[in-house]
Amino acid sequence: MMKTEGEMWVCGSCGAEKPREADGESGMVTTEGQQEGEIVDLSESEEDARPTTEAHCPECGNDRAFWEMKQIRSADESETRFFTCTECGHKWREDDH
């Protein structure tokens, strides 16, 4: 990330320098003058935001589960759908028998 030092842009990693240009900087977004935002913990609400579907849990018999798709094989094969029971948290795959 480049930072300003007087009339130069200076890379914080390697120290490379580049002269500043007022015309080019007019459209840039900087962190200068910005207020720090409040950090919000979404960990509890995150689980409720996942999509659910009708799926029978093999452990407790519940009929709702969170689901997600993951590519676990090569790219030319279809994704695998994973379920997590909304009641007991048991996890299983769509192709498990």
Residues 82 and 70 sit within 8 Å (Cβ to Cβ): yes
> Which pair of tokens denotes residue 3?
């930072």
Nearest to 69, CA basis, from 50, 55, 87: 50
Question: According to the annotation, is 85 in a ligand binding site?
Answer: yes
Rounded CA-CA distance 20/35 in Å is 24
Question: According to the annotation, is 14 in a ligand binding site?
Answer: yes
Question: According to the annotation, is 47 in a ligand binding site?
Answer: no
Question: According to the annotation, is 13 in a ligand binding site?
Answer: no
List of E strands, 1-97: 2-5, 8-11, 17-19, 52-54, 64-70, 80-85, 91-93
Question: According to the annotation, is 57 in a ligand binding site?
Answer: yes
Which residue numbers belong to the known binding site for Zn(2+)? Answer: 11, 14, 57, 60, 85, 88
Q: Which residues are annotated as a binding site?
A: 11, 14, 57, 60, 85, 88
